[in-house]
Amino acid sequence: MEKYELDVHTHTIASGHAYSTISELVAEAKNKELKLLGIVEHDVGIPGTCDPIYFKNYHVVPRNFNGLDLILGIEININPERLNKTPMQLLKPSKIPILVSLFILTMVIVL
């Protein structure tokens, strides 16, 4: 069986269709001996997801949570209304460093 060291596309209950909290995801990632966990929540405007204030509060979540390194991001589904806007225009954050990974019709913005 292959051993994975990271999972960078997970969701918490804030995304509306997942069932775990950050603490529960971290505990399971540690049980699986992952070294890095990426948590991305669905973008504002996707039914059932969190309010924009959730993303603005990412800065209070430690990037090493109970001994596991975390990256936090936003999964933005690309749709026609959004094609003329940059991720920063969509989020309107202040001074947030970003990394962008492209998935099939999905962008993950790491905050």
Q: What are the pLDDT digits (tens) for 24-82?
A: 999 999 999 999 999 988 887 777 888 888 888 888 999 999 999 999 988 876 655 55
Domain that holds residue 54: 6-110
What pLDDT does 74 receive? 85
Q: Tell me, yes or no, whether 36 lies in a domain.
A: yes
Q: How many domains does the chain have?
A: 1
Q: Tell me, yes or no, whether 90 lies in a domain.
A: yes
**CATH number of the domain that 27 lies in?**
3.20.20.140
Q: Is 0.85 surpassed by the pTM of this model?
A: no
Q: Tell me, yes or no, whether 1 lies in a domain.
A: no
Among 16, 19, 109, smallest CA distance to 55 is for: 109
